[in-house]
Amino acid sequence: MIQHFSDLKLCSALRDNLARNQFVTPTPVQAQAIPPLLEGRDVVATAQTGTGKTLAFSIPLIEALAAVPRTKTIKALILSPTRELAIQIDEAFRQLAHGMQIRTAVVVGGMSEKAQLRDIQAGAEVVIATPGRLCDYLDRRIIDLSRTATVVLDEADRMLDMGFLPDLRLIMGKLPTKRHTMLFSATMDSSVAGLVASYVNNPERIAVEACAETAGRIDLFCYQVPRGSKYDLLEYLLKNEQGSFLVFVATKEGADRLTKFLERENFKVAAIHGDRSQNERNKALQGFKDGLYRVLVATDVAARGIHVDDIAHVVNYDLPQEPENFVHRIGRTGRAGSRGASWTFVTPLELSDVRKYERTLGIQVQFRELPPLPRPIGLISEADMEEFLASMSAASLPPLVKDPKPTPPTPSRSFSTRRRRR
């Protein structure tokens, strides 16, 4: 297994670009995947998000392209589940292929079709695409994959989760039977295993233990908190911890609502979810990268589409539906060798879910004592209720009408009156 990128037999331009960008020591998935890929073997690799899979397939791909003449045919296809991930793969690829005249095109929904078609017609040799938009171009015969000798499936499990299997079958059917296939995935369940059996030839199988790696560089903290106190707990962390925060919520509506609350408290915050336009999502992500926003609130659409090396904290404001998404979320921090912290907010009814995550993923979270927080809106203690009932005595209120048969206020009526008074 290679110890340094300099151990690889690469063209001088690629070696210079690696050195220029300070890529010296490969991550485990890079060290294991790159050598067989350089030999032309199919590879199936499972490794957690954030472990360097993009470089693992980009380096062999660029080396192969450097060895052949530049032509206006699509030689390689990289499939990604989300627009954000496709854009960031393109950025990383261009960085490594700087000065080598290898043209790329990003083919995704929600962005200018005119610009995409221009890049394709200009002679893109590498197409980085989401399955849906690529199938649209194939149907319209805008793209020809008949001479595409290499295909990369990045985050294959996520593409299957998003229902892209019919699209994947259509796309793979347009590729040459004899091809070089690279499949990267964070998990390998039965659905991915079926895809592997169908589309790779005698692959080299690589598995990097994600959770053991995560445990070494991410502190996993957990708070048991009433649902109504989650916002106050997040505000407490923002005021007492340093660095940027990526906050995951369950719904698009929840993301917008939390963003508005944080804006009212003068936090620099942006939101990213499926209802935002691509331009809005790009601006939010770039602003977060540049430090314009300290907080980015996101749904799971961003769990595998955000590649920012210095995110200090990931907050599971709401729990994900699947244990695997827990790994993808926390993998947004502790990147590039740095340490990070993950904070999970759990209601009493969700404790069993966290224990299931620990068993399934082989991790252990540290439960922390809840700091002093304001009382959740809508909750009232027995002592407060007694004090309030006492304040409702006839002596403390001006008479409104005479009632020959006065009745004492019920607790429910008292509570609603108190809320109106506030």
pTM of the model: 0.65
What integer is the mean pLDDT of 357-370? 85
* C-beta neighbour count of 313 within 10 angstroms: 22
**Cα-based distances in Å from 26 to 37, 59, 417:** 15, 11, 65
Burial class (CB in 10 A: 0-12, 13-18, 19+), 420: exposed
Query: pLDDT tens-digit profile of 294-316?
Result: 999 999 875 556 667 788 999 99
Q: Which residue has the higher pLDDT, 213 or 394?
A: 213
Q: Is 349:227 a contact under the CB 8 Å cutoff?
A: no
pLDDT beyond 50 at 381:
no
What's the pLDDT score for residue 285? 87
What's the pLDDT score for residue 304? 58
What's the pLDDT score for residue 297? 96
Q: What is the full DSSP assignment across 151-176?
A: EEEESHHHHHHTT-HHHHHHHHHHS-
Q: Which residue has the higher pLDDT, 274 or 346?
A: 346
Burial class (CB in 10 A: 0-12, 13-18, 19+), 331: buried
d(CA 399, CA 97): 83
As a whole-number percent, the residues of the chain with pLDDT over 70 amount to 83
What integer is the mean pLDDT of 228-251? 95
Provide the edge-to-edge strand list for the sheet that holds 340-346.
269-272, 295-298, 245-248, 313-316, 340-346, 218-224, 366-367
Collapsing DSSP to helix, strand or coil, 247 comes out as strand
Band of pLDDT at residue 182, cut at 50, 70 and 90? very high
d(CA 44, CA 56): 12
What integer is the mean pLDDT of 231-253? 95
Domain 214-367: homologous superfamily in CATH = P-loop containing nucleotide triphosphate hydrolases (3.40.50.300)
pLDDT beyond 90 at 71:
yes
Query: pLDDT tens-digit profile of 248-296?
Result: 999 999 999 999 999 999 999 999 987 888 788 888 988 998 999 999 9
d(CA 152, CA 43): 10
Residue ranges of the chain that CATH labels 3.40.50.300: 5-208, 214-367
* C-beta neighbour count of 291 within 10 angstroms: 10
Element (H, E) at 96: helix 83-96
Name the E strands within 211-334.
Answer: 218-224, 245-248, 269-272, 295-298, 313-316
Mean pLDDT of the chain: 84
What's the pLDDT score for residue 418? 41
Q: Which residue has the higher pLDDT, 211 or 270?
A: 270
pLDDT beyond 70 at 378:
no
Q: For 259, phi and psi rounded to 5 degrees?
A: -60, -40
Q: How many residues comprise the chain? A: 422
Per CATH, which fold does 5-208 belong to? Rossmann fold (3.40.50)
Band of pLDDT at residue 142, cut at 50, 70 and 90? very high
pLDDT beyond 70 at 398:
no
Q: Are strands 126-129 and 104-107 parallel, antiparallel or unpaired?
A: parallel
d(CA 235, CA 137): 46
Element (H, E) at 37: helix 28-38
